[in-house]
Structure 1
Amino acid sequence: MHTLRSSLFALLFTCTPLFAVAAPATDTVDLKYEKFQLPNGLTVVVHEDHKAPVVAVSIWYHIGSADEPQGKTGFAHLFEHLMFSGSEHHKGSYLEAFDPIGATDMNGTTWFDRTNYFETVPTTAVDLALWMESDRMGHLLGAIGQKELDTQRGVVQNEKRQGENRPYGRVSELYLKNIFPTNHPYQHDTIGSMADLDAASLADVKAWFRCNYGAANTTLVLAGDITPAIARAKVMKYFGDIPAGPAVAHQQPWITPLGHRVDGVQHDHVAQTRIYRTWVVPQDGSDDALNLDLATTILGGGKSSRLYQRLVYRDKLVDDVSVSLSPFALASMLEIQADLKDGVDLAKVDAAIDEELKRFRAEGPSADELARAQVRYRGEFVRNVESVSDQARVLAEGQVYRDDPGAFRKDLSRIAAATVAGVRKAADTWLSRGDYHLKVLPAGKDFDPAAEDAKVASRAAMPGRPATVLPPARRYSVAQSGVDRSEGVPKVASFPTLQFPALQRARLKNGIEVVLAERHAVPVTQVELMFDAGYAADHGRRPGTAAFATSLLEESTKTLDSTEVAIRKERLGARIGAACGLDSCIASLNALEDRLVPSLALFADTVRNPAFKASDIARLREQHLAEIAQSKSSPMGVAQRILPPLLYGKEHAYGIPFDGLGSVADVKAMTAADFTAFQRDYLRPDNLKILVVGDTTLAGILPQLDAAFGDWQAPATPRPRKNLASVAVPAKPRLFLIDRPDAPQSLILAGLLVPSAKAPDYLTLRLANDALGGSFSSRLNMNLREDKHWAYGAHTMMSDTSGQGPMFFYAPVQTDKTAPSIAETLKEARAIVGDKPVTEAEIGNIRDMRVRALPGAYETSDAVLGTVTKIVKFGWPDDYVQTLKTRIEGVTPATAETALKEVVKPEAMTWVIVGDLRKIEQPVRALGIGDVEVLDADGHTVH
C-alpha cells in the first residue's frame, strides 16, 4: 500500500501538465517601468524611484497552491519555507546574510497562483540580494535534506494550528470545499492538510523545485534607487547562467458559479454567530471583476454602504457587515460577511440582504454612489504605492497574472470610466447566481472540531475544466557565469546614509503646537491630532471610556449625522478616524492633496463638535460589547485582557485590559455625560499637539490648520493627572491558566515590567531585547521555532510607554509541548542574565542590522509619522533619528547585559497560559515554577 502510494505520487510529480484538457482628479501616481527578458527566459521589470537609497527585490514564481497535485495540498507553501533554509553556496538560514545589511520588508508568501520572495535592501547591497536570490534559484537542492524538511514541516503545521486556534480560523478550508468543485484548482486552502504535509517527502521537494522553479517561469522586479541599465547588467551577471527549466503549464480561468444557494454550518469557539455568503465571479482584470469591485464598495464598503445602512442602522440586526471582492487569476470570490446580534433570526438577516441585492441588481448604484466608489479606488491606489516594495508588488502582479506590468493603468482607466449601467449589469449577472451560505455558530460543551470537520462534504466535480496551457515554445540559452560562487556572498563595502526630514515647529494662534515633516513622494498629507490621554486616562472613571468616547468622534457632529459624515469622507477620498493607545488618543486625517482644505474642514468638525447622539451611542455600545466578546474568545485577546492588571495592579493607570475596551458592565452603564466629561478633560486644545507629514510645507499648512483649529479654546477646568507610579518587582513567579477547550495550541504570555521609553538607556534595552526574542534570529525564536519546531514563532515584545512598559514573552505552541515550552522560555530568560550573556557576535549583528536598516525604515509617510509621534510623545530630541546611528553603535555587550539584568527577572515573571486545561494543567503544575491558579476569561478565580 505504501509503495503503491509512493509510486502514484511520483507519477503526479512529473513535469507534464496535470490536465490535458470617478471623478476627475488632479493628483495621480504612475509607475514607469522598463521590461526585458534574459536569454534564459527570466522576465525582469525595473522601476526607478530615488526618494530613498533602497531597492525592492521581488521575485515571483508562477506556481502556487492551485497547481498542487491531489494528495499534496500545502506543498507550495511548505516549499516556500524550505527556500529560507539556505542554498548550496550559503549554508544555513537564508536570513543570516540579510540581517547584517539591514534588509527590511523581507519575507515570502504563497497564494493560489504564485509564490513570491522579497526584500528591500540598501542600494549598495543589491549585488548581495541578487546573489542570494539567484543562488537559491539555481543552486538549492544540495542544501535541502531530511532535517530541513522535517524542521519546516513542523513550523508549517504549527502555523496551521495557530490559524485554526483563532476565532473563525477554520472557515477558509470549509468554504473553499463548497464554493469550488472538487476538480477546481482553488478547492483547497494554501496551507493544506496535516495528512498531506506529513506525507511530503524529500523526493517530492526536489521534484517540485526541478519542475517549477526555472528561470523561464519567473518574474524579477527591481523597484527603487536603481536604473534599468544597471539592473540589466547585474541581473544578467547573477541569473544569466540559470537554466530556463521545463515549460510550466499554467491554469486557465474557470468560473464555476453555484447553480443555487448551498447552506453550510460550522461550530467553533466564537463569541457570536457570523454568516458568510460567497459567490464565484470572474477573474482578476476582467471588466466584470472591476465593476464588481465598485459594487462591493457601494454595497458594503463602510457606514454609508447599502447593507450597513440597512442591517446596522435601520433594522439593527447585525453589529457589523462588509462586502469584499477577492480577485484571483482563475476566478474571484465576492463575499458578504455579517456578525449577528444575539438572538437575531438569521432568516431576517438573509431576507434583508436579498432585498437589498435585488434592488441593486435592478437599479444599480446612484451616480453619487458610483463617484464615491471611484474616488475611493483611486485614493487607495495612490496610498498603496508609496513604498518601493508595494510598487514592485503591483508591477509583478500585472506581469505574472496578465503578462503586463502596466495592467494597473488599464484598471485605473476602466474604473474612472465605469458607468451606472455597467456596474448594475455585472451585479445582476453574477449576484443572481447561487451562493454558498455558511453559518458559524458558537460551540457547545460537547464540541469536537475533528468530528465536525470529518462531516464536511465537498462540492461535486464539474465538467468543462479548461486544459492547462504551456507557454509558447521558445529556444532558451544560458550565458557563461561571471560569478565565482565559491567566494561566497558579495561583501557590502559601504552603506547609504539615512535621509529623514528635519522637523519644523510652529504654533497656531491659540498656542497649539504644530510639528511638520515634509514628504513629497505621493500627493497625500497626513494630519494627526495627538491628545495626552489613552486608555490610561480611564483611571478614576469607567474602564473603556477613552475607547468609546474616541470612537464617537467618527460619528455625528452637531450639524451632520454619522451617515452624512461617512458620505462626505468618501466624496473627498479622505480617511478620517480616531483611536486610543495606552498613553494617547489620536484623531487622524489622511487626505489627497487636491482635496486637503475641505478634508481638513470636515476633520475639524468631527473632532471639535461630536454630538454624542443617543442613537450613535446605542449602536456603538452594541459593537463595543461584541468586541469585548470577540476579544475574550481569542487566545491572545483574553491573555492581553488578563495579564496587565496582574502586572500593574488595579490602582495603576496601566492596570487595565490592554484592548482598552473595559468590562461589559461598564460599557452598558456609560452615558453621554461620561463622554462629554472625557472630552472636556482630555480632548481639548491645551492637551493637544498637531503632527503633519506629507506633501505640504509649513507656510502652506499653517494657515489651513489655523482656519480649522486656531480659534479652538480650552475649558476652564484643569486637566487630570494619570497615575504612572513605579510598580515593585513581584516576590515570586505566578502562573495563571485559562481554559480553552479543544485548542490545538496553547498561548503562552509571560510578563515583566521595563523602564519608560523616556529612560536614558531605553534604546540599549531595545537592542538587547532583539537578542533575547525581538528578532527572527533571536534565542527564543531559534529555540522554539527552528530547533524544536514547536511554534510558528516565539518572541519577546516591548511597548513604548510613558510609564513602566510591559515586556511580553509570547509563544503560541502545540498543546503537547506547553510545559516544555514554558521550561525552554524560562531557560532562555535565565541564561541571558546568567551564564550565557549577550555576546559580541549577537550585539554586533543587531547593531549592523539596525543601523543599516535606517535608510529603508523611513521610506513611507506612515513610517515617518509613527516616529514623529514617538519623538513628540516621549520628549525625544528632534534629531533623534539623525543621531540613532551613533547611539546604536555605542551599545556594547556589557551595556546590553546591564540593561537586561535590570529588567529580566526570571523568578518574578507573571505567566498567563491559555489552552486546553484537560491536557496542560498537570504538566504545567509539575514544572514547579510557582503557584498555579485557574482563571476564567474575565480574570476571576475558578474554584
Structure 2
Amino acid sequence: MRLAASSVALAALVAVASPVLAHTSTPAVATAVTAPSATPLRGAPVSELVARVDIPWKRFQLDNGLTVLVHEDRKAPVVAVSVWYNVGSKDEPKGSTGFAHLFEHLMFGGSENSPSSHIQTMNAAGATGLNGTTWFDRTNYFQTVPTPALDYTLYLESDRMGYLLGQVSQEVLDLQRGVVQNEKRQGDNQPYGLTYYATLEALFPEGHPYRHSTIGSMADLDAASMETVRDWFRQNYGPNNAILVLSGDIDEAKARELSQRYFGGIARGPVHTPLQAPIPTLAAPVEQVLHDRVAQTRISRTWATPGLNDPDSVPLSVGASVLGGLASSRLDNVLVRDEQIASSVSAGNQAFQRVSMFSYSAMVKPGADADAVARRMDAVLADLIANGPTQDEIDRVVTQFASRRIQGLEMANGKASVLAEGQLYSGDPDFYKKELAAYAAVTPAQVQAAMKKWLSRPVYSQIVVPGEREAYVEAAAAPSGATPAPAAPIQRVAREATPAIGQVSNVDFPAVERAALSNGIEVVYARSTTVPVTRVALEFDAGVAADSADRLGAHTLMLNVMQEGTTTRDSKALAEAQERLGASVSVGSSMDRTSASLSTVTTNLQPSLTLLSDMVRNPAFAPAEVERLRAQRLAGLANEKTQPAAIAARALPPLIYGEGHPYGRSFSGSGDEAVIRGLTRADLAAEHARWIRPDNAKLFVVSDLPLAELKPQLEAAFGDWRAPTTAKGAKSFNAALPQTSARIVLIDRPQSPQSLIYGGQVLPVSGTDDLLTLTTANTVLGADFLSRINADLRETKGWSYGVRGNVSTMQNRSPYIVNAPVQANRTGESIAALIGQYERFLGADGVTKAERDRTVLGDTRGLSGSYETSAQVLGALRSNALYGRPDGYQEALAGRINALTAQQMDAAARAAIDPAKFVWVVVGDASVVKPQLDALGLPVEVRSAPAPTTAQ
C-alpha cells in the first residue's frame, strides 16, 4: 500500500475546460448521434410521472416513544411489517466495530418467549421477503406476512425488541460471531474485495463515525464480550429509538390496537442521539495504489460530500448520473463507446444521513494505458463541471428516477421502506415527495454549482492493479481451553402466550388470457393494477443451450451487440431513448430461453414498445460495435478467471454433463475466448436470423391495461414481423451423459481466505416432470435457511455465511448443485459434513414430522405474498410455459403441498439425489486446502486457477 501526493491535480482541471473538450454551445460529450430516419420517442412529462407517486400514511406514537406508520393497501391479504432502529455502524465506538451488524444476526436467533430461530418461526408463518440489514445509519428487520399471521408476527417482533437478552447465551454469541466473520471473508475473497476499507480509511479521519465499514474488523468481533454486547442492545434498541411500519391489508385503527397490545408494555430505553459527522476535506490530494488478483486495473476518484438532507444532495446525484450513471453517460460515451479505452465506467453519489460519497471509476481496457485513461476520465469530469449538463441530460436522469420509484412501489415492503427512511433520516415520511420534487426542479446551473463546490476540493484516488494482494488480517485463533467469564443471568419476564395464526386463504392468481398477433405470435397475458406499469417479455426458444459445443458464447455475444444499435438508432441513441421514456429494455438468456424484456410506466408504453421492436427486429450489428463488444466480452472473460464463483461455475458443468452437452458449459453463457475472438459480423447476423424470429417467439405481458387495449399496441410493434427464409434453430439434447462418481477437483487460487465448495450431479429428472415433491423434500435438505446442510455448517458449526443445495430446474435434465463458501481451514471438514448430511437424510434419517409440517405450512401460507408484483406474475407465466404447467398451477399448489407426506418426500429425494455421484469443485488456496481434502479418502485432482490476461 502506498500513500502519496496525487499525480492528477484534478482541481486544476476543474478551473478551466479541458482543451480537448473545449466549451461549445452544446458540449461534445453530451451530443446524441441519432440517425435522421429514427422516429423520435418521447414519453410523458416528468411532472406527470412525479404526480403518480403517492403513499398515503398515518402516524402515531405510543407512550413509550415507539413511532408507528401505517399505509393501507388492500390489493392482497398481506401486511409488510418493518422495524427500523435508529442505530448503525456510524454509532459504534472505537473497539466495537461491527457490533450493529453482529446484533442484527443475534436478533434472528430467537428471543425469550420464542426461543426458536426467528427465521424458522416466520417461515412457518408464510413470511416472504424476510430479512434484516445493517448500514451506517440504521438497522432494519422486515417481512411480508399473510394477514392472519399479523398478530403472531408483531408478537415476535416485539419479543426481540423487549425480551431478547435472556436468549443470547455465550454459545449463541460465539456462533453468530463466526457466521459474521465468514460473511466478511466471503466479501473479502472477491476481486477488489478489500478496497472499500481503504477508501473509508483514506477519506475519513481517525475517529470519524463513517471511517470503518459496517462489517467491522476481525479483531473487534473477536473481542466482543457478552456484557459489551448486552450494553450495546440496552443503549440502542428501545422502542423510543425505533419505527414500526405496517403497510398493506390494515388500517390505522387496527394498527393502533395491535401496536399497543404487543409493543406498549416495553419500557423506554435511553435517549439515543446519533453521532454527528462533519464532512471532511482532505488537506491535499491522496493517491493510493493497491494490488489484488484481478484482471484489470481499476481507477477511482472519491470525495466526501453532504448527506441526503442537504440541498446539494440531489444536484450531486444528478451530476453523478450524467457523468457515469446513465447508459448514455459522459464517461460511457467518451471512454467506452468513442475512444474504447475502458471496458466499463461508473459514477454515483452514495448518500447517507450525515455524509455522502461521490465517486467515479473506470475499468482500464486490457492493453490500454492506465495513465491515459485516468487523464481522460478526469477531463470528462472537468468538462462537465466547467460547462454543466444539458437540460436533456437532466430530464433523462429525472425520468429514470421517477419511473424506477413508481415501479418500486408494487411491494408493500417497498412502500414501507420509503416511509421509514423518510421518518428516520428526515423526520418526514413524505420526504420521498420532496426528493422527487427536487429532482424534477433541478437545473443545469444547480448541478454545475454543486459539482464545482464539492468536487474542486482535494480528491482521494485509488488505483487497483493486478498483483499479489497485501496481507490479509484473519480472525484470531481461540486460546486453547479459554472460557469467557460467565455473564450475569438475565431475569426473564413472562408474557402472554404466542398468538395463533389464523386460516390463510389460498393465493388468488390473476386470470390468464391468451391472444395471437396476425403473424401467429402467441400472447399470454395477466392483469395487475397495483401500479401503472407494464412488463413485457418476448421469449424465444433458444438460451445458452443454443450454442453448439464448438461455438460457446456466440449466442450471448449476438444478444450483447443487438442492444448496441439498430438500423435507425445507434448505441447512444438507444440508451438516450430508454432514459427519456424511463423504460428498461434489454435482451438476455437463461439456459433454455432467450428473452427481450421491457419494463415501463404504462403512460409511455407505446413508444417503449416501438423501441423494443426496433431492438429485436432491426439490429445493425455495426462492425465497430461488434469489435467494441468483443473486447468487452474478452475483458469479462478475464475477470471471470479471478472470481471464485465464476471459476467454479465454469468448471462443474462439463464435469457432470460432459463437454458436448448443451448444459455442459458455464450457465452464464459467456463462452470461450477463442470463439469470441473469431466471430464475425456475418456470424452474429446469422445467429440472429436462426433464433430471434417470430416463428420462434411467444409474448408474455403483465399490465394494468386490459388485454383489449394492449393487443393493438402489441400488433403495431410485432404483428407485421415475418420470419426469414433460412431455417429456424434447433437444439439437440442427445449427447450421452458421463457416469460420475464422488471425487474432488481442487482449483488452486492462492491468498483465498475462504474456499468455495461447488458440487453436484445430473438428476434423473427434467424440468417438464412434476418436481413438486422433490423440491419440497429438498427444502428440508438443502434449499431453505433451515435446511439440514445450512443448519449444520452455518447455524451449528459457524463455518459458513450460508450453504445451499438446489434442484436447478431446467427444461431438460436438471442438475443438483451445492454451493458452500466456507472458511479455508474448515474446507475438508465441511465436505465431510455435507456428505454426511446427505447420506443420513437419504438413508434412515429422512423428513421428520416437524420438518414436514414446518415446510408445508411455510410454502402454502407464503403463496399469498409470492405473486405480489407484476414481475413475479410475469415470471410465473413464463415458467408455466417453459415447464408445460397449466394456467391454474399456482392456485393448485396449496392443495398439492398440503397433501404431501414425509414418506412421499423421502421417496422422491432418494430416487433422485445420490451423493456417491457428486463431483466436488473446490476453489481455494491449495497450500491450505489440499491436506484437508487428501484426508477425506476421495480422489483429488489439482488444477491451477486460470490465468487472466492482465496486459494493460
357-366 vs 911-920, greater mean Cα deviation: 357-366
Structure 1 residues 739-750: aligned runs within 5 Å: 739-750=748-759
Report the CA distance shift for 1:24/1:210 in structure 2 as closer, same or farther (over 3 A).
Answer: closer
Deviations 1:91-144 (A, max 9, x none): 131222212111011111111111111111111111111100111111111111
Q: Secondary structure at the match of 1:90?
A: coil
Q: How far apart, in 1, do the equivalents of 2:947 and 2:879 lie?
A: 32
- 8 Å contact kept, 1:512–1:690: yes
Q: How far apart, in 2, do the equivalents of 1:103 and 1:340 lie?
A: 44
Instruction: Give the deviation of 1:541 after TM superposition.
Output: 5.1
Instruction: Give the deviation of 1:891 after TM superposition.
Output: 2.0
Given the alignment, which residue of 934, 940, 943 partners 1:935? 943
Given the alignment, which residue of 732, 735, 747 partners 1:723? 732
Structure 1 residues 75-154: aligned runs within 5 Å: 75-154=99-178
Give, as a single letter, the amino acid of the residue that structure 2 aligns with 1:25: E
Q: How far apart, in 1, do the equivalents of 2:871 and 2:283 lie?
A: 45
* Partner of residue 421, structure 2: 397
* Partner of residue 638, structure 1: 647
Instruction: Give the deviation of 1:727 after TM superposition.
Output: 5.2
Q: How far apart, in 1, do the equivalents of 2:297 and 2:533 lie?
A: 39
Q: Does 1:431 align with 2:455?
A: yes
Q: Secondary structure at the match of 1:714?
A: coil
* Partner of residue 474, structure 1: none
* Partner of residue 478, structure 1: none
Give, as a single letter, the amino acid of the residue that structure 1 aligns with 2:160: R
Deviations 1:693-744 (A, max 9, x none): 1221110111111111001111233323212247557352121010010100
Instruction: Structure 2 unaligned segments of length 5 or more: list them.
Output: 1-44, 476-491
Q: Secondary structure at the match of 1:789?
A: coil
* Partner of residue 464, structure 1: none
Q: Secondary structure at the match of 1:87?
A: coil
Q: How far apart, in 2, do the equivalents of 1:193 and 1:598 lie?
A: 51
Q: Does 1:198 align with 2:207?
A: no
Instruction: Give the deviation of 1:386 after TM superposition.
Output: 1.3
Q: How far apart, in 2, do the equivalents of 1:420 and 1:612 lie?
A: 35
Q: Does 1:306 align with 2:330?
A: yes
Report the CA distance shift for 1:727/1:845 in structure 2 as closer, same or farther (over 3 A).
Answer: farther
* Partner of residue 892, structure 1: 901
Report the CA distance shift for 1:755/1:276 in structure 2 as closer, same or farther (over 3 A).
Answer: farther
Given the alignment, which residue of 449, 471, 489 partners 2:471? 449
- 8 Å contact kept, 2:740–2:918: no
Structure 1 residues 801-840: aligned runs within 5 Å: 801-840=810-849
Give, as a single letter, the amino acid of the residue that structure 2 aligns with 1:86: G
* Partner of residue 930, structure 2: 921
Q: How far apart, in 2, do the equivalents of 1:429 and 1:23 lie?
A: 27
Instruction: Give the deviation of 1:835 after TM superposition.
Output: 1.7
Structure 1 residues 237-316: aligned runs within 5 Å: 237-316=261-340
Instruction: Give the deviation of 1:938 after TM superposition.
Output: 5.0
Q: How far apart, in 1, do the equivalents of 2:729 and 2:920 lie?
A: 33
Q: How far apart, in 2, do the equivalents of 1:491 and 1:905 lie?
A: 39
Report the CA distance shift for 1:71/1:731 in structure 2 as closer, same or farther (over 3 A).
Answer: closer
Deviations 1:249-303 (A, max 9, x none): 2222421132432111111121211122111111013221111111111111233
Q: How far apart, in 2, do the equivalents of 1:484 and 1:812 lie?
A: 39
Q: Secondary structure at the match of 1:86?
A: coil
Q: How far apart, in 2, do the equivalents of 1:814 and 1:424 lie?
A: 48
* Partner of residue 372, structure 2: 348
Given the alignment, which residue of 702, 707, 713 partners 2:716? 707
Report the CA distance shift for 1:731/1:107 in structure 2 as closer, same or farther (over 3 A).
Answer: closer
Given the alignment, which residue of 582, 594, 607 partners 2:591? 582
Report the CA distance shift for 1:876/1:726 in structure 2 as closer, same or farther (over 3 A).
Answer: farther
- 8 Å contact kept, 2:362–2:377: no
Q: How far apart, in 2, do the equivalents of 1:328 and 1:726 lie?
A: 54
* Partner of residue 33, structure 1: 57
- 8 Å contact kept, 1:448–1:742: no
- 8 Å contact kept, 1:253–1:329: no
Report the CA distance shift for 1:384/1:499 in structure 2 as closer, same or farther (over 3 A).
Answer: same
257-266 vs 684-693, greater mean Cα deviation: 257-266
* Partner of residue 480, structure 1: none
Q: How far apart, in 1, do the equivalents of 2:779 and 2:922 lie?
A: 23
Instruction: Give the deviation of 1:493 after TM superposition.
Output: 2.4
Q: Does 1:573 align with 2:582?
A: yes
- 8 Å contact kept, 2:747–2:923: yes
Deviations 1:739-768 (A, max 9, x none): 010100110011112255544431111111
Q: How far apart, in 2, do the equivalents of 1:451 and 1:500 lie?
A: 51
* Partner of residue 615, structure 1: 624
204-213 vs 538-547, greater mean Cα deviation: 538-547
Given the alignment, which residue of 215, 230, 235 partners 2:254? 230
Given the alignment, which residue of 201, 216, 225 partners 2:240? 216
- 8 Å contact kept, 1:90–1:488: no
Q: Secondary structure at the match of 2:260?
A: helix
Q: How far apart, in 2, do the equivalents of 1:840 and 1:200 lie?
A: 38
Deviations 1:224-248 (A, max 9, x none): 1110110011001111111111111
Given the alignment, which residue of 147, 156, 163 partners 2:187? 163
Report the CA distance shift for 1:280/1:311 in structure 2 as closer, same or farther (over 3 A).
Answer: same
Q: Does 1:595 align with 2:604?
A: yes
Given the alignment, which residue of 208, 221, 229 partners 1:184? 208
Q: How far apart, in 2, do the equivalents of 1:258 and 1:695 lie?
A: 51
Give, as a single letter, the amino acid of the residue that structure 2 aligns with 1:449: A
- 8 Å contact kept, 1:268–1:449: no
Given the alignment, which residue of 553, 575, 581 partners 1:544? 553
Give, as a single letter, the amino acid of the residue that structure 2 aligns with 1:697: P
Q: How far apart, in 2, do the equivalents of 1:288 and 1:149 lie?
A: 42
- 8 Å contact kept, 2:539–2:593: yes
Give, as a single letter, the amino acid of the residue that structure 1 aligns with 2:220: D
* Partner of residue 870, structure 2: 861
- 8 Å contact kept, 1:55–1:226: yes
Give, as a single letter, the amino acid of the residue that structure 1 aligns with 2:472: A
TM-score by length of 2: 0.91
- 8 Å contact kept, 2:288–2:463: yes
Report the CA distance shift for 1:866/1:673 in structure 2 as closer, same or farther (over 3 A).
Answer: same
Q: How far apart, in 2, do the equivalents of 1:208 and 1:173 lie?
A: 24
Q: How far apart, in 2, do the equivalents of 1:101 and 1:226 lie?
A: 18
How many residues align structurally?
888
746-755 vs 31-40, greater mean Cα deviation: 746-755
Q: Secondary structure at the match of 2:47?
A: coil
- 8 Å contact kept, 1:57–1:118: yes
Deviations 1:417-459 (A, max 9, x none): 1111111111111111122111111124xx4533899xxxxxx
Q: Secondary structure at the match of 1:528?
A: strand
* Partner of residue 785, structure 2: 776
- 8 Å contact kept, 2:768–2:884: no
* Partner of residue 528, structure 1: 537
Q: Secondary structure at the match of 1:263?
A: strand
- 8 Å contact kept, 1:165–1:743: yes
Structure 1 residues 865-880: aligned runs within 5 Å: 865-880=874-889
- 8 Å contact kept, 2:191–2:292: yes
Instruction: Give the deviation of 1:46 after TM superposition.
Output: 0.5
TM-score by length of 1: 0.92
- 8 Å contact kept, 2:765–2:912: no
Sequence identity percentage:
45
Instruction: Give the deviation of 1:894 after TM superposition.
Output: 1.6
Give, as a single letter, the amino acid of the residue that structure 2 aligns with 1:277: R
* Partner of residue 484, structure 2: none
Give, as a single letter, the amino acid of the residue that structure 1 aligns with 2:168: I
* Partner of residue 359, structure 2: 335
Deviations 1:528-576 (A, max 9, x none): 1100001100025510011111112211101111111111111111111
Q: Does 1:627 align with 2:627?
A: no
Q: Secondary structure at the match of 2:545?
A: helix
Q: How far apart, in 1, do the equivalents of 2:494 and 2:560 lie?
A: 57
